[in-house]
C-alpha cells in the first residue's frame, strides 16, 4: 500500500469518547480492505481520548491524529476530517460504532463497478452499550433513479441518517457544503448528495450502530449546542434553519428543472408537516425574550434546558 495515496479515507471525529473509541478503531484496523487512512480528529477532549488516539497512531502508519486546541463543534470537527482526507473515497466513522471486517471492501467494490453510484452503505444492526444486538435495519434510501425521489426519501424523518456512514465518492462530497451548524444537518447533506447521484445499499448488516445515553437526544433546540457550544442556552430556530437550507440546497445543485420543481413542491409538504414545530421555534423564542425583558430568570431557564 502507498501510504501517501490511500484509496479510502476514514474520518473519525471524537470528543470525550474513551469508553468505546478503542473498539471503533480496532474494527477499522481489522478491515480486509487495507489501502486506507484513518484520520482521528480530537475535539479538545478532557478524558482519556487523546492517549488512546496517540497510542494507535504510534502503532499504525495509516493513522493520522489531529487535536483541536478548543472544541470547534461536532459538525465542524467531522467536516475537518474530510478536508484532511486524501482518498478517492471517504467514509465518516463514529467513536462508538463498529464495522464488520468486510464493510469497506464491499462498498468499494460497488463504487468501482458502477460510476453512477455516489454513495454505498450497508444494512445496519443497532447495538446497545455492551454490544448486544437490538434490531437489524434495511433503509433502501436514496436508491431511486430519479433525483427528486431520492431527495424526498432522504428528507423524510423515517430514518436516522444511517447513510452518512456509507462510503462516498470524495469528488462528489467536495461539491457540497458538508454539514452545517444546526440539528439534523446530516439529513440535509444526504439530500444534497442525492441530487448529485444515486445511493446503493448492500443487503448485509455490516455496520453496527451503538445507541447509549450520551448519543440519544429528543430536544432539537438543546442539541444545537453539539454543533456550536456557544449556543448552549441560546434562542435557536433549528426547523426554520433547516427549511431555508433545503431551499438553498435545491437551488445550488445543478439538476433538471423537473427535479428542482418536484423538490420545491415537496418542501411545501415539508412545511405543512412541520408547521407546529416551526411555530414552537417562534413561541419559545418569544417566551425567552419576554422572560429576559421582564427579568424573570425562572422562565428563561425553562427555555435553556441546561
| pLDDT surpasses 90 at 259 | yes
Q: Average pLDDT in the 252-277 region?
A: 96
Q: Average pLDDT in the 8-15 region?
A: 98
Q: Average pLDDT in the 136-147 region?
A: 96
| pLDDT surpasses 80 at 56 | yes
Which of 63-67, 108-112, 145-149, 214-218 is predicted with the least confidence, judged by mean pLDDT? 214-218
% of the chain with per-residue pLDDT over 70: 93
| Structure confidence at residue 302 (pLDDT) | 33
| Structure confidence at residue 4 (pLDDT) | 62
| Structure confidence at residue 221 (pLDDT) | 77
Residue given cell 456509507 in the structure block: 166
Mean pLDDT rounded to a whole number for the chain: 91
Q: Average pLDDT in the 191-207 region?
A: 98
pLDDT one-digit tens code per residue, 154-198: 999 999 999 999 999 999 999 999 999 999 999 999 999 999 999
| Structure confidence at residue 157 (pLDDT) | 92
The structural domains of the chain, ordered by start, are 1-96 (3.90.550.10), 220-304 (no CATH)
| Structure confidence at residue 303 (pLDDT) | 33
| Structure confidence at residue 211 (pLDDT) | 92
Confidence band, pLDDT 50/70/90 cuts, at residue 223: confident
| Structure confidence at residue 292 (pLDDT) | 65
Q: Average pLDDT in the 188-213 region?
A: 96
| Structure confidence at residue 293 (pLDDT) | 65
| Structure confidence at residue 250 (pLDDT) | 98
Which of 111-120, 127-136, 172-181, 231-240 is predicted with the least confidence, judged by mean pLDDT? 231-240
| pLDDT surpasses 50 at 252 | yes
Alpha carbon of residue 31 to chain centroid: 21
Q: Average pLDDT in the 108-114 region?
A: 98
Q: 215 versus 138: which is more confidently predicted?
A: 138
Amino acid at each position: 500500500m502507498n501510504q501517501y495515496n490511500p484509496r479510502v479515507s476514514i474520518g473519525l471525529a471524537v470528543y470525550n469518547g474513551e469508553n468505546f473509541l478503542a473498539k471503533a478503531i480496532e474494527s477499522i484496523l481489522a478491515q480486509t480492505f487495507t489501502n486506507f487512512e484513518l484520520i482521528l480528529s480530537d475535539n479538545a477532549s478532557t478524558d482519556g481520548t487523546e492517549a488512546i488516539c496517540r497510542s494507535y497512531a504510534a502503532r499504525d502508519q495509516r493513522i493520522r491524529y489531529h487535536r483541536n486546541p478548543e472544541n470547534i463543534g461536532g459538525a465542524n470537527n467531522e467536516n475537518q476530517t474530510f478536508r484532511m482526507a486524501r482518498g478517492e473515497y471517504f467514509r465518516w466513522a463514529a467513536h462508538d460504532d463498529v464495522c464488520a471486517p468486510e464493510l469497506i471492501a464491499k462498498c468499494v467494490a460497488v463504487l468501482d463497478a458502477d460510476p453512477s453510484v455516489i454513495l454505498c452503505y450497508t444494512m445496519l444492526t443497532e447495538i446497545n452499550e455492551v454490544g448486544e444486538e437490538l434490531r437489524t435495519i434495511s433503509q433502501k434510501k436514496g436508491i431511486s433513479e430519479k433525483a427528486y425521489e431520492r431527495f424526498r426519501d432522504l428528507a423524510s424523518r423515517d430514518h436516522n441518517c444511517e447513510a452518512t456512514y456509507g462510503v462516498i465518492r470524495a469528488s462528489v462530497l467536495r461539491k457540497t457544503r458538508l454539514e452545517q451548524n444546526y440539528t439534523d444537518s446530516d439529513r440535509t447533506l444526504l439530500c444534497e448528495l442525492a441530487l448529485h447521484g444515486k445511493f446503493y445499499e448492500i443487503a448485509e448488516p455490516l455496520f453496527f450502530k451503538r445507541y447509549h445515553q450520551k448519543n440519544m437526544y429528543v430536544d432539537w433546540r438543546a442539541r444545537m449546542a453539539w454543533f456550536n457550544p456557544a449556543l448552549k442556552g441560546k434562542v435557536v430556530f433549528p426547523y426554520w434553519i433547516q427549511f431555508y437550507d433545503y431551499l438553498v440546497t435545491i437551488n445550488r445543485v445543478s439538476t433538471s428543472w423537473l427535479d428542482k420543481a418536484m423538490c420545491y413542491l415537496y418542501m411545501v409538504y415539508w412545511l405543512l408537516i412541520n408547521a407546529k414545530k416551526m411555530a414552537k421555534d417562534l413561541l419559545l423564542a418569544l417566551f425567552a425574550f419576554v422572560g429576559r425583558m421582564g427579568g424573570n430568570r425562572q422562565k428563561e431557564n425553562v427555555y435553556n434546558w441546561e
